[in-house]
Amino acid sequence: MLEISGLVSGYYGLKIVRGISLKVEKGEVLFVMGRNGVGKTTLLKTVVGHIRPMSGRVVIDGHDVTGWSPHAIARMGVGYVPQDRGVFARLTVEENLRIAEGLNGEILKEAFKLFPELEPLRDRKGGKLSGGEQQILAVARAIASRPKLLVMDEPATGLAPPIIRRMVEAVKQLTSQGASAIIAEQNPALVFELADKLALMEAGEIKAIIGRDRLAESQQLLRSALGLSYQDR
Ligand SMILES: Nc1ncnc2c1ncn2[C@@H]1O[C@H](COP(=O)(O)OP(=O)(O)O)[C@@H](O)[C@H]1O
Ligand SMILES: [Mg+2]
């Protein structure tokens, strides 16, 4: 579903992602983990077309989308939750959702079914939402568009545990229907629930790929690679 090969990208000629190759099969969930600043967001932005790579290729569902616009990539059926949420401040909740409508005519119904707390906020401007509400909106927009590839950048940030649960269930439902996901996230609850594999990133490169069967025994590796203690979270 997603094949990244030899990807190099960054800002103003500065290489942040330094030659990454990754594959996400149909129905699979890949987590990208690593300390702050290793280039997770830069990698995901490059996948969805917000940054044009310096070299390498991005192939989605058999199409070479390298250099395509974010709009063209979204239209292929790619749902994206940016780290900064990407909620349009001057559009209402409904309008923010309808932006992804091209992919699924039922997006409002679907979004309100998954996240009923959005419905009373329907006519509120994005800029008037709390940070947590904006996060729900961003997640709802991406998931309710029923993408074949879901790209999420720290989606659990600012979400209460019951909402995270519903997000996990919604992602499971999508992948059970053949969608794939690439998610940058450190939240262990999410990782252990959803991950088919983990890519550990360090300084713009993939240091290790860990399959689901090795997740439990890899805790020590993860902890040191992330510079955190799982018990703390
Ligand atoms: N818009 C930008 N312009 C220049 N440098 C950036 C920009 N965004 C991120 N960077 C730099 O790229 C590096 C990786 O950032 P990022 O991809 O956000 O990492 P992560 O998501 O893993 O925390 C950091 O050193 C950051 O300072
Ligand atoms: Mg980031």
With a cut of 90, say whether residue 203 has pLDDT above it: yes
pLDDT of residue 30: 96
CA–centroid distance, residue 40 to ligand 2 (Å): 5
- Count Cβ neighbours within 10 Å for each residue of 122-161 and write b for 16 or more, e otherwise: eeebbeebeeebbbbbbbbbbbbbbbbbbbbbbbbeebee
pLDDT of residue 232: 44
Phi and psi for 105 in degrees, rounded to 5?
A: -60, -15
CA–centroid distance, residue 105 to ligand 2 (Å): 31
pTM of the shown model: 0.92
Two tokens at 36?
């702050």
Percent pLDDT > 70 in the chain is: 91
Q: What is the mean pLDDT of residues 165-188?
A: 93
CA–centroid distance, residue 152 to ligand 2 (Å): 10
Number of residues that make up the chain: 233
Q: Which residues contact 216 (CB under 8 A, 6 or more apart)?
A: none
Residue 45 CB–ligand 1 contact under 6 Å:
no
Q: What is the mean pLDDT of residues 11-30?
A: 95
Local confidence band at 187 (pLDDT 50, 70, 90 cut-offs): confident
In terms of CATH architecture, what is 2-232? 3-Layer(aba) Sandwich (3.40)
pLDDT 10s digits, 204-231: 999 989 888 887 777 666 666 666 544 4
pLDDT 10s digits, 72-123: 999 999 999 999 999 999 999 999 998 876 655 688 989 999 999 999 999 9
Residue 11 CB–ligand 1 contact under 6 Å:
yes
